[in-house]
């Protein structure tokens, strides 16, 4: 196995090996001197590739310095002028949004902009089960029949060639605002704004759809200003809506670099003020106070907003984020909260069955390079989440497939992969070979359609195909550690200092630390399958939490009070008015003296 083992841990309880990141001492000193920061922050920034000349911008990302030039995007000015035309003329416009958080925030941004002009914006969100992803010919035909004079697709549409051809045939102008990868052939549209279109040189292909839409709002104000038109009361101030842009960016797992860092850092400040009635209501029903962190946005609000698209009404999130009516917001938030509970129950049931299949597959073939679990009635709205859970547990690419009941005769599958194994390419190759009805994706995720009686042949091919990636799968088991801490040195002040290099997310990982030879004491189960305990050594103790581990081997070791090496992340936690540091355990290994 490549790399040095931290604490001589050959393999952890989760089957991983640990290695300590290396930071060149000269680079650390230069960065600390230039940025005026502590040694620990300097080391963290160096290992993240931050240079002395860029450290100030990284630490304090501002919209003034990092906001994209709208004119750099192909068709941005064209789209803005078409929308201003529709606003001025009072045409009937509908936004066609994807059913996830990025689609919901994108549509809500446009809805708020239209409302500022005194105009209504129609909404259409496709049903995941009945219609699938993106616009269809039937959907555009329906919108035309309902009197739509312009459709704006957000977070979808770039690859909907057939639907866009239908729109052209029936005389329905469509503006596509998307961020997904697309081919070199451009579909016929009124305008197509997508930083990932082949002829776009803006360099902002990493933006979420919500980020692209927020840039579009700036372009709309600019176009209106140049034309000398504005609504009563003046052009809208869009900055208070940056919370929606930040939320879409985080929940779509967009890389937190350049403009995205500024969107999220500044957007979280606005989110914490509670100005959006929908977000405020959702936070209330979720039982949190102010929305102050990436965790709140991504892991508390995000799943609830996604729940409607997964197991219920796909329109709920978009409506909630767009409303200014407190009563309506509370009703919508309570419905999403209930659907999220339903989603968790469905997910848990499928995860338990899929885990049994995965364990049998590994037992039968310990060298197997992929998990493929399938079941009748498995809901397509949660199979992606389950695939991610399997990937995280077994450190292998994982595919989960469901069919039957109300899902139709064709099986749908969702895949998640580990670093170094391009699951999208593998699925595409299987589709080209006739093993699938359709399929594709990108390096870390993919989707597929297959006849249920063809799953076995697809699984056999995929298991054989994955044999070539043994080195990549082994490397995926590496857990990189930023540093080693003593429990007695951990404090809320240290957590606050670490937050200075946030926000954390995709391509901006939260620091991971190890604590060496600590004894687990005062362990207790919390919730269904979590553990809270203290890790102590001669320097002191630190409060720890270990998620989804109470019934695992790790849980048994913690409850037995064993001496362990731990790896995890630090966060400041507040309870009953007292702030304390908390260590979130992500892995553990048995220390030698047990």
What pLDDT is recorded for position 335?
A: 95
* Mean local confidence (pLDDT), 404-421: 85
Secondary structure (DSSP) of 114-183: HHHTT---EEE---TTTT-SS--HHHHHHHHHTT-SEEEEES--TT-HHHHHHHHHHT--EEEE--S---
* Mean local confidence (pLDDT), 440-451: 86
Note the helical H segments in 273-370. Answer: 277-286, 294-295, 302-311, 316-322, 326-364
Q: Which residue has the tokens 């809506």?
A: 241
Q: Is a pLDDT exceeding 90 seen at residue 267?
A: yes
Edge to edge, the sheet with strand 174-177 lists 122-124, 93-97, 150-154, 174-177, 191-193
pLDDT category of residue 440 using cuts at 50, 70 and 90: confident
Q: Residues 498-522: pLDDT tens digits?
A: 999 999 998 899 999 999 999 999 9
The HSE-up count of residue 175 (CA atoms within 13 Å, CB side) is 26
Q: Is a pLDDT exceeding 90 seen at residue 380?
A: no
DSSP letter at 436?
A: S
pLDDT category of residue 261 using cuts at 50, 70 and 90: very high
What pLDDT is recorded for position 4?
A: 44
243 contact partners, CB below 8 Å, separation of at least 6: 267, 268, 270, 271, 275, 276, 279
Maximum Cα–Cα distance across the chain: 78
* Mean local confidence (pLDDT), 243-254: 95
Mean pLDDT of all residues in the chain? 93
What pLDDT is recorded for position 503?
A: 94
Q: Is a pLDDT exceeding 90 seen at residue 443?
A: no
Closest C-alpha among 300, 201, 204, 205 to residue 247: 300
pLDDT category of residue 3 using cuts at 50, 70 and 90: very low
- Please list, residue by residue across 446-467, b when 16 or more beta carbons sit within 10 angstroms of its beta carbon and e when fewer do: bbbbbeeeebeebbebbbebbe
Q: Which residue has the tokens 């451009």?
A: 186
Q: Is a pLDDT exceeding 60 seen at residue 2?
A: no
What pLDDT is recorded for position 8?
A: 72
Q: Is the dihedral of CA 239, 245, 246, 247 positive or negative?
A: positive
* Mean local confidence (pLDDT), 449-454: 94
Phi/psi for 416 (5° steps) reads -135, 145
Worst-scoring range by mean pLDDT, 165-174, 181-190, 261-270, 366-375? 181-190
Q: Residues 274-303: pLDDT tens digits?
A: 999 999 999 999 998 888 899 999 999 999
**Helix, strand, coil content of the chain in percent (nearest 5):** 45, 20, 35
Q: Is a pLDDT exceeding 90 seen at residue 406?
A: no
Whole-angstrom CA distances from 355 to 371, 398, 566 are 9, 11, 25
DSSP letter at 240?
A: G
Distance from the Cα of residue 317 to its chain's centroid: 16
pLDDT category of residue 10 using cuts at 50, 70 and 90: confident
What pLDDT is recorded for position 11?
A: 84
Take residue 118 and report the two structure tokens written for it: 């005194």
Q: What does pTM read for this prediction?
A: 0.90
Q: Residues 516-530: pLDDT tens digits?
A: 999 999 999 998 899
314: helix, strand or coil: coil
Q: Is a pLDDT exceeding 80 seen at residue 144?
A: yes
* Mean local confidence (pLDDT), 152-178: 95
Cis peptide before 568 (omega within 30 of 0): no
Length of the chain: 594
Q: Is a pLDDT exceeding 50 seen at residue 234?
A: yes
The HSE-up count of residue 385 (CA atoms within 13 Å, CB side) is 23
Q: Residues 563-577: pLDDT tens digits?
A: 999 999 999 887 777
* Mean local confidence (pLDDT), 137-149: 97
What pLDDT is recorded for position 444?
A: 85
What pLDDT is recorded for position 1?
A: 35
Q: Is a pLDDT exceeding 70 seen at residue 407?
A: no
Take residue 403 and report the two structure tokens written for it: 């069919």
């Amino acid at each position: 196995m490549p790399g040095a083992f931290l604490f001589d841990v050959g393999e952890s309880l989760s089957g991983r090996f640990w290695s300590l990141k290396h930071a060149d001492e000269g680079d650390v000193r230069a960065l600390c001197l230039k940025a005026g920061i502590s040694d620990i922050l300097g080391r963290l920034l160096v290992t993240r590739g931050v240079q002395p000349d860029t450290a100030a911008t990284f630490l304090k990302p501002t919209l003034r310095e990092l906001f994209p030039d709208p004119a750099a995007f192909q068709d941005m000015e064209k789209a803005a002028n078409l929308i201003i035309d529709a606003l001025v003329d009072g045409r009937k416009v509908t936004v066609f949004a994807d059913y996830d958080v990025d689609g919901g925030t994108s549509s809500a941004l446009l809805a708020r902009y239209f409302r500022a002009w005194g105009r209504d914006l129609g909404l259409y969100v496709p049903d995941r089960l009945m219609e699938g992803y993106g616009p269809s010919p039937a959907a555009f035909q329906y919108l035309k029949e309902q009197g739509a004079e312009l459709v704006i697709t957000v977070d979808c549409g770039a690859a909907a060639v057939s639907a866009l051809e239908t729109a052209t045939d029936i005389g329905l102008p469509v503006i596509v605002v998307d961020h997904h990868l697309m081919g070199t052939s451009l579909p016929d549209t009124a305008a197509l704004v997508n930083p990932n279109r082949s002829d776009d040189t803006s360099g902002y292909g990493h933006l979420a759809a919500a980020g692209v839409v927020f840039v579009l709002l700036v372009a709309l104000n600019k176009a209106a200003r140049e034309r000398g038109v504005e609504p009563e009361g003046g052009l809208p101030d869009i900055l208070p809506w940056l919370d929606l842009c930040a939320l879409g960016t985080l929940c779509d797992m967009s890389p937190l670099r350049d403009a995205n860092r500024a969107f999220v850092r500044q957007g979280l400040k606005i989110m914490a003020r509670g100005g959006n009635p929908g977000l405020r209501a959702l936070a209330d029903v979720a039982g949190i106070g102010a929305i102050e962190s990436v965790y709140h946005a991504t892991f508390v609000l995000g799943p609830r907003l996604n729940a409607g698209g997964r197991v219920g009404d796909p329109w709920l999130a978009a409506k909630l984020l767009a409303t200014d009516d407190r009563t309506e917001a509370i009703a919508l938030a309570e419905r999403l909260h209930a659907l999220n509970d339903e989603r968790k129950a469905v997910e848990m049931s499928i995860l338990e069955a899929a885990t049994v299949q995965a364990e049998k597959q590994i037992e039968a073939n310990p060298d197997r390079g992929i998990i493929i679990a399938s079941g009748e009635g498995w809901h397509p709205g949660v199979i992606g989440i389950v695939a991610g859970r399997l990937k995280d547990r077994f450190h292998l690419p994982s595919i989960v497939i469901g069919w039957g009941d109300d899902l139709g005769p064709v099986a749908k599958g969702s895949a998640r992969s580990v670093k170094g194994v391009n699951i999208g390419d593998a699925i595409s190759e299987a589709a080209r070979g006739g093993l699938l009805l359709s399929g594709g994706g990108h390096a870390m995720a993919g989707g597929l359609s297959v006849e249920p009686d063809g799953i076995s042949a697809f699984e056999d091919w995929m298991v054989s195909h994955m044999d070539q990636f043994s080195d990549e799968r082994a490397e995926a088991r590496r857990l990189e550690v930023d540093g080693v801490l003593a429990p007695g040195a951990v404090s809320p002040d240290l957590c606050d200092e670490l937050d200075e290099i946030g926000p954390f997310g995709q391509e901006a990982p939260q620091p991971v630390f190890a604590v060496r030879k600590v004894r687990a004491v005062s362990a207790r189960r919390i919730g269904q399958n979590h553990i809270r305990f203290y890790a102590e050594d001669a320097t002191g103790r630190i409060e720890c939490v270990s998620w989804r581990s109470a019934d695992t081997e790790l849980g048994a070791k913690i409850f037995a009070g064993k001496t362990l090496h731990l790896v995890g992340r630090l966060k400041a936690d507040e309870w009953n008015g007292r702030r304390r540091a908390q260590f979130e355990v992500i892995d553990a290994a048995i220390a030698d003296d047990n």
